[in-house]
Structure 1
């Protein structure tokens, strides 16, 4: 088993490119950091760094172990948190992964409910945007493009709710009084982007536009629902977003339903069926279902 302090020195030097900078970051002496690197190279039998100018950079073998070092340090951090919880007489711990709009709508009520029901349990929230690929929390709230997606066999899933997209327009917009509009009616109006990367929310929107034969062109980029809604309130364009994302709605903005084929995201809670705290997880999932459908 490798020494965690040695791995911390390895990662810090890899990120800063300097033993001195890493030592300052870790509140150690440069000689201590150098010693950690020497011992780690001896233990692994690998050359992990090479000189680059006045600094150091990872060798190919050093780069190859970086993700594993991150995993060990992350596990060590979780263990430290667990020990801290036990010292505080909080004998249980439940971590919940969530995306931003689920946090706004559901997490405050969920944490309050769980801690009132189980005062000996420490509830930890982890923001987890983007597509799901592995467990980072005991319970994770995730977005899918269908009500019955295919998860790996080691995943237990519970459907929570569907979240149809809507369009936000200035309240004096010609479409503002309409109860419903189609995507093709919006094509020639200025659009405001509200997402980043290729996450599931953007993919679901783009897929619906493709089915409707609508070309997506953004006049402005905002990168968050809240910012995009405030830009709409200033008359800068319209934005399309999931219904959960419109709260809080700023003044001067009207929300209109989208006609089929409207984008819809489907929200699920997933967990590990082999987790030792199954009763607590089931209670958390049940509470999430009630919050999502309430």
Structure 2
């Protein structure tokens, strides 16, 4: 049987492309990493790395082995967490994946409330800049994010929780800073900054709204995090279009200006694996997510809480906003 420790070392070497970098990441010495690789090469009969000058080149065999080992190592990690839970007396672990736009607002309070109410629960939180579909593949139990597909696998119970619009972010010294609202076309001649990958579903939605207004956005800066976006906007030379939820709490030198219709809108949803949907902690988490969405809907112009009423029936706002999807809401009402 292959040693998981050696497989983890191989994954690190494949990821970094360097024995020294892997040693630093793993807390090993370079010689220990080399020894693990040599042993794994003997056990598998595969050449895993080739020396090139002072460095190495990872072979195709090593990449395939590392990729295939990922599933086994992830499963082993789940087993190790189970053992840890049993040893510590915990009643189990729930894995919650969430989107960037609610990372600093909803999630810290949610984690605090859950840990106070269920102190014996292991709660793992994972920030992922991806869709609900991607998070589902990452082994999450509960997901709060944006679904990009109409069809949801049977193993998930789904509720839409919030529909919101987008806002333009500008610096306080920007010429548009005094406007109470903006049509998309007024952003045509601006330099844009966004943290969305330009080929992503999310930015394509914004780009489609721009193209409908007769222009293509000129993205001059594309950092990978929202605080850096705010730094560019604060200079007064850039604008950004973002969901209204993430724009609630900004730097004092950045303003959020609502976009006039027709402007892009999006929906956030919560997904719960049906294997845990009756778990009291999972039900509580979904309730708290709805409470956060309802609170934000009161604070954000144009946002609608797509919640369910105390009897499990869709609220009036949800009925009006999600009439085509009412079946989805009723099917998953037992989660809330």
**What is the TM-score normalised by the length of structure 1?**
0.82
Match of 1:229 in 2: 230
Greater relative contact order, per chain length (Cα 8 Å cut-off, separation 6+): 1
Q: Given the superposition, is the C-alpha separation of residues 62 and 257 from structure 1 closer, same or farther in structure 2, using an over 3 Å criterion?
A: same
Instruction: State the partner residue of 1:87.
Output: 87
Query: Hey, what does 2:308 align to over in structure 1?
Result: none
Partner of 1:117: 117
Q: Which residue of 2 aligns with 1:60?
A: 60
Partner of 1:238: 239
RMSD: 3.2
- What secondary structure sits across from 1:181 in the alignment? coil
Cα separation, 2, equivalents of 1:116 and 1:173: 44
Matched, 1:144 2:147: yes
Alignment size in residue pairs? 291
**Residues 38-83 of structure 1, C-alpha deviations (whole Å, 9 max, x = no match):** 6645655644445545665443232222212233333333433443
Q: Distance in 1 between matches of 2:258 and 2:16?
A: 50
- Give the distance between the partners of 1:143 and 1:70, measured in 2 at CA: 26
Go from structure 1 to structure 2 and tell me whether the alpha carbon gap of 1:46 and 1:174 turns closer, same or farther (over 3 Å shift): closer
Show the 5 A alignment for 1:114-263. 114-131=114-131, 132-133=133-134, 134-144=137-147, 149-171=150-172, 173-263=174-264
Matched residues in 2 for 1:257 and 1:13: separation? 47
Aligned-partner Cα distance in 2 for 1:287–1:69: 37
Q: Structure 1, unaligned stretches of length 5 or more?
A: none
Q: CA contact under 8 A between 2:167 and 2:241: conserved in structure 1?
A: yes
> Which residue of structure 2 lines up, in the alignment, with residue 268 of structure 1?
269
- Matched-pair contact (CA < 8 Å) for 2:195–2:222: yes
Q: CA offsets, 1:79-105, max 9 Å, x none? A: 334433433322321111112221211
**Distance across 2 between alignment mates of 1:235 and 1:4:** 52
Once the two structures are overlaid, the 10-residue window that deviates more, 3-12 or 43-52, is 43-52
Q: Unaligned 5+ residue runs, structure 2?
A: 296-336
* 1:202-242 Cα deviation digits (max 9, x unpaired): 23211222233321113444443333334333322322111
Q: Against the structure 1 CA distance between its residues 69 and 177, is the aligned structure 2 distance closer, same or farther, given a 3 Å change threshold?
A: same
CA contact (8 A) 2:96 2:125 kept: yes
State the alpha-carbon separation in 2 of the partners of residues 19 and 189 from structure 1: 45
More divergent stretch after superposition (206-215 vs 236-245) = 206-215
